[in-house]
Chain A
């Protein structure tokens, strides 16, 4: 009964999306006013129905209703409740339902609160949203119904893969979807603005929270994903330029560019068409990323949910939405009046350089990721990896970072270099000193050296906007920018330090043997067999001491799962403020010795601290913007009320 209610709600929501689309399109003319009035209620109702449908699926998983095919295939009555509740999005059907639910909730929210845009633009936006939504509803109802019944019901479910029973992985899909949905909202607004030719600062202010929100989620997703690969794959690498990773990086690059161009549009009414184009591109990149990961056309370490048929469906949606939006853009772009002008020595000028560099980076990542696919079509296999991405990316990244250090100090519209000469020169002088010092002392390779120097420049440059300002009166959005930019410096420093100063030791150790890894002395105390619920493991007891200090015990494991049969290395880490000791036990070497892999990775954790700071900066900015928006809203309401009183 519950499953049927959920399915009915889903069908109703689909019908309402159809109505929303119809109303949004016909409502553009005077004759469609009746239909237009239905659009907002339809969006809100659709959100409620979707939330209800998703709720029923969660309930079905929580109660382990095995008569539902999806539950039977992905759950088990003995599973911990938290993973039962996370069950719905641990599979394709459920995660599609989650996607459409988040999307309809966003649509409902817009319909409920958004009053800043011209009504026709909003109608067109909601119509675009319904149009995108309908594709996903069709996907769900036609080819992946999550409420499918199983008759007769099996006695027990198949369970979720033990490797995926991890709280981090349980949170991963919702995080990504929130990011993608946020970009889909920006896409809908861009299409709405394009259709009604209303690209205004108000438009930018309306989409800014959505872009910011999406960007925060994407930042968190990439940071967490990178850390997961770092400790799970067992070789100490944190970024492999693997297609799956690139698929997550591309929407982030586009969203970062969009975020910055939106603030130019909001503050100065410039970069109109460019912002619209980025809105389309950002959502395209998240769809292209989903396609690459799900369809299996590229070879990747992380290829989990591969299914060519779903790939076909996503490709069809991609063609309709992105192809359609680009054609619309190409026909309309010329009719949108160009915005305000500015000089190179201005905040806008710096942001334009940032946007061009980010777009070029996006182009490089896209090219490098898809090039093997292209040559494969001609029967030639090539590989594009770190030796390509790192130097070519740096060509575009380094100038961008230099501008990042200066841009926030500049005033809008027109500024002179003389005004900010002193602090900027100081920052670059420190950077140069770091460059020369590190080169002479440490003899670092070129890329980490440049990274280190640029980290210093950006680190100093990012906090310069705080000079001479009272912290209490600082707008939250400005503080957010400072924090996020400082996070870039922190992450960059971590990357450079790790790649330049990492120390690796591979040893075959007997019990009692001591190995030196940088400042650490690691002793193998013993190797013991241990057992978990569905695995057995060899566990090394290591005692590690930092510069002769008190030893700490860490226990890396080599685990063998039996269903499915599989071996994994569970690395064990010792974290200090200035880096991590990373230990892995491999197999048995000859006789009584064990393979140990030990790394001292100076400042490696700063990479993820930096990522977290960037996301935190985004969050601060989001709160700041929302607070200002709310304040403006109340002021407007008060003014309107006063006018009413005066009229009465």
Chain B
């Protein structure tokens, strides 16, 4: 293979790659579209009864809302189920609201979700063998901050 044909094939490869860039961007946008709302590849059924309907008791609704804000949408993974139009998020909101209405406690519902999907589904990390550094490091930071402030500022006043 001489240098010219090598150049040509490099150029062809580059053009091939360039042709696919918009497609990739399109796929990304489509993935986002999945989260934003139903489009192609989405179901035709109406949302679950309590997906977009609040509980009558404002106290229960507040509890449900607080819980929904801390549960992660499984379909569009960057949002809570309280912030998503995906139909699965709606179905999860239905679960939360009906269970709250039936008298279940928010933390029991969270535990129910975690039992099925693991820690991923909850934005509120629980203290466990996998998450202890999340809580230990802030404590360490406080200790470190106190140490630095103490050394920097303490006792050198007069």
Contact = CB atoms under 8 A, between A and B. Distances in A.
A and B in contact, CB less than 8 Å? yes
Interface of A: 69, 73, 148, 150, 158, 161, 163, 233-235, 237, 240, 242-243, 299-307, 341-345, 349, 352-353, 356-357, 360, 363-364, 367-368, 371, 375, 380-388, 392, 395-396, 414, 504-506, 508, 558, 560, 564-569, 586-587, 589-590, 595, 597
Contacts of B125: 382-384, 387-388
Nearest to B26: A564
A375 B130 contact: yes
Contact of A586 (B39, B52, B121, B130): B52
A566 B31 CA distance: 10
A379 to B, nearest CB: 10
B29 A566 contact: yes
A524 to B, nearest CB: 15
Contact of A301 (B14, B35, B119): B35
Contacts of B123: 383-388
Interface of B: 14-15, 18, 21-22, 24-26, 28-30, 32-33, 35-40, 46-47, 52-54, 65, 69-70, 72, 76-80, 82-85, 118-125, 130-131, 133-134, 137-138, 141-142, 144-145, 148-149, 152-154, 156-157
A589 B80 contact: no
A590 B52 CA distance: 12
B30 to A, nearest CB: 6
Most buried by B among A363, A385, A506, A568: A385
Given A383-B120, A385-B72, A568-B37, A343 B22 contact: no
Contacts of A300: 78
B85 A504 contact: no
A504 B93 CA distance: 15
Contact of A567 (B39, B130, B131): B39
Given A367-B138, A508-B52, 13 more contacts: A233-B83, A237-B83, A303-B32, A342-B153, A356-B145, A363-B137, A383-B120, A385-B123, A388-B134, A558-B37, A566-B29, A569-B36, A595-B52
Given A566-B39, A567-B33, A383 B141 contact: no
Contacts of A508: 52-53
A564 B53 CA distance: 30
Contact of B14 (A148, A368, A371, A566): A148
A537 to B, nearest CB: 12
B134 A341 contact: no
Nearest to B25: A161
Contact of A568 (B30, B36, B130, B131): B36
B33 A364 contact: no
A109 to B, nearest CB: 34
Contact of A506 (B54, B77, B144, B157): B54
A356 B15 CA distance: 51
Given A384-B134, A388-B134, A564-B29, A235 B83 contact: yes
Contact of A69 (B18, B28, B46, B79): B18
A505 B56 CA distance: 11
Contacts of A307: 24
Contact of A364 (B28, B70, B141): B141
B156 A343 contact: yes
Nearest to A306: B28
Given A163-B29, A344-B154, A567-B38, A382 B130 contact: yes
A566 B153 contact: no
Contacts of B30: 564-566
Contacts of B133: 367, 371
Contacts of A504: 54, 65
Given A357-B145, A381-B120, A564-B29, A506 B52 contact: yes
Contacts of B119: 380-383
Given A235-B83, A383-B123, A569-B85, A73 B138 contact: no
Given A387-B123, A568-B37, A148 B82 contact: no
19 contacts: A73-B22, A150-B15, A233-B83, A240-B79, A299-B78, A341-B156, A343-B157, A344-B149, A363-B137, A364-B141, A367-B137, A382-B131, A383-B120, A384-B123, A387-B70, A506-B52, A558-B37, A567-B39, A567-B85
Nearest to A445: B66
A395 B82 CA distance: 26
Nearest to A375: B130
Contacts of B124: 385, 387-388
Given A383-B121, A386-B69, A506-B52, A356 B36 contact: no
B153 A506 contact: no
B137 A566 contact: no
B33 A565 contact: yes
A376 to B, nearest CB: 10
